[in-house]
Amino acid sequence: MAKQSNYSGNLESTDPDPLVVKLNKDLSSIEESLTTSLNTHKFRYIFEGLGHQMSSILVNSTQYFNRISHSGIKKMCRNIFALQQNLTNITMSREVDLDHARQYYETLYMTVEEILNSLVEQGVHFTELEYVNALNLLQRSTPGTDAKAHAARLWRLKEIMAQKVGNQNAEMTEI
């Protein structure tokens, strides 16, 4: 999806990406086929980790985006909602793993400085690599961004993450 779609322009469409629509149709077709041939336990087993897998793919795909605009972020959030809604209908339980992906994309509404400050103030919500990918995407999406300033921000991210991990390890040894 990231390699085949454009998320950097002014995207006014309220519909999910055509690839998301196709995936949802495919999942519904699979559900229809398996419902009649599998018992409930085996059926749930097939769909159980799908939300987590989709979330992981959606979050890690940001490294392949050339640029993303605010309307592109909004479109990705709609895509995630469409996937989440379909999976919820299939599994009959809320797919909370996709909330992680939505929150990640909503983070892209912030500036790099706001992301770094929120890490310090509110704690870590994503992996260091996920933050690096977000910062790199924001840098690519902002024309004229200074490469040295970006490198300094990446270094600051690394320091914040090391401090947060160190604090978590210290808290674990106290317990």
- Give tens-digit pLDDT for 12-68: 667 889 999 999 999 999 999 999 899 988 988 888 889 999 999 999 999 999 999
Show the 3-state SS of the chain.
CCCCCCCCCCCCCCCCCHHHHHHHHHHHHHHHHHHHHCCHHHHHHHHCCHHHHHHHHHHHHHHHCCCCCHHHHHHHHHHHHHHHHHHHHHHCCCCCHHHHHHHHHHHCCCCHHHHHHHHHHHCCCCCHHHHHHHHHHHHHHCCCCCHHHHHHHHHHHHHHHHHHHHHHHHHHHHC
Output the pLDDT for position 136.
97
Token pair of 137 as six digits = 């995407």
Residue 88's pLDDT band (cuts 50, 70, 90): very high
User: For the ranges 37-46, 66-75, 109-118, which has the lowest average pLDDT?
Assistant: 37-46
Lowest mean pLDDT among 3-7, 76-80, 130-134: 3-7
Say what the pLDDT of residue 130 is. 97
Q: Give the pLDDT of residue 11.
A: 60
How far apart are alpha carbons 137 and 62 in whole angstroms? 7
Kindly tell me if the per-residue pLDDT of 4 is higher than 80.
no
Q: What is the pTM of this model?
A: 0.87
Nearest CA-CA partner of 127 in 60, 45, 41: 60
Distance in angstroms between the alpha carbons of the first and the last residue of the chain: 44
- pLDDT score, position 48: 87
How open is the CA angle 82-68-128, to the nearest 5 degrees?
85
Q: Could you tell me how many residues make up the chain?
A: 175
Q: Which residue has the higher pLDDT, 166 or 100?
A: 100
pLDDT tens figures, 117-173: 999 999 999 999 999 999 999 999 998 889 999 999 999 999 999 997 776 655 656
Which residues neighbour 175 within 8 Å (Cβ) at sequence distance 6 or greater? none
Per-residue pLDDT for 5 more than 70? Answer: no
Nearest one of 111, 100, 62 to 119, comparing CA atoms: 111
pLDDT value, residue 60: 96
